[in-house]
Amino acid sequence: LCLSILKPRRFQTFPFRLELDFIQNTHITSLSGAFEGKWRTSVSGQVEVRPITTVHIDFNDLLQQWRQPSGKFRAPAGHHYFDSQIVIGEECPGSFSGKNGYAEYGFVIKIRLAGRFGHTELTETRPVHVIPVVDLTPFVQHLLPVTRCKTFRKKVFCINKANANVVIRLEKAAFVQGESIAIDGEIINEHQSNVLKAGLVELIMSTRYICKKNDKTL
């Protein structure tokens, strides 16, 4: 199990497949699984882990294929697969990794085997990359053109060394992942003698981390 999931704003069902290979006939005591998501933040030496979601997976249909007259489960040697579906809700943000924390998802599968000298439990975890798909149409205010103005002034010993106005115009105020951003910029140099040699426009993402009582914004 290793896949990426496009998660829309609303609930949607996603398929997955579990594959098992047994080199010999195997007695199964239990088989369980879950799709899990969690936040982990680390700020000022403090670490906090919070669950995002837990969706339990029912393998009863697969286990019934292995049921013996005695009521026990015995999987024959060979390749076995199980197809099912999960639902990721609106409470799940997309996968994220930053300096002070991350949001991650994965499938956790646990199988308990009965042996001659007791039981053995195996746990396998497979990561899942959740990609949010956001529909901006309900947010009319973010679809309108936007203009940002900034004035840059610099003085050295009360003498103006720089005096410029920068105007940035965007077609809209919000963008989705992977979308190209068209920028219309204008620099107005109001200084009488100094020439502006270069300008730089950057798109900066601000991330806020909350860990217990600590708060940090980067």
Q: Do residues 187 and 194 lie in contact, with contact meaning Cβ atoms separated by under 8 Å? A: no
Rounded mean pLDDT, 131-149: 81
* Residue range of the domain that includes 159: 140-211
Report residue 11's pLDDT band, with 50, 70 and 90 as the boundaries.
Answer: low
Q: Tell me the whole-structure pTM to 2 decimals.
A: 0.72
Q: Is residue 167 part of a domain?
A: yes
Cβ(8)–Cβ(21) below 8 Å = no
Number of domains in the chain: 2
Whether residue 9 sits in one domain with residue 87: yes
pLDDT tens for 177-216 read: 777 888 888 888 877 777 767 777 777 888 888 888 788 8
In a shared domain, residues 46 and 18:
yes
In this structure, the answer to whether residues 39 and 59 fall within a common structural domain is yes
Q: Which of 132, 152, 175 is the last residue of a domain?
A: 132
- The answer on 54 and 13 residing in a single domain is yes
Residue 50 corresponds to which tokens in the numbers above?
């919070």
Has residue 216 been placed in a domain? no
- Say yes or no: 188 and 165 in one domain: yes
Task: Please name which of 98, 8, 88, 79 lies closest in space to residue 52, comparing C-alpha atoms.
Answer: 88
Last residue of a domain, one of 95, 111, 132: 132
* Structure tokens, 118: 């007791």
54 and 118 inside one domain: yes
Mean pLDDT value of segment 29-52: 91
Least confident window among 17-21, 65-69, 100-104, 116-120: 116-120
- Mean pLDDT, the chain, whole residue set: 83
Give the pair of three-digit tokens for residue 116. Answer: 């001659």
Domain assignment present for residue 201? The answer is: yes
CATH of the domain at 33: 2.60.40.640
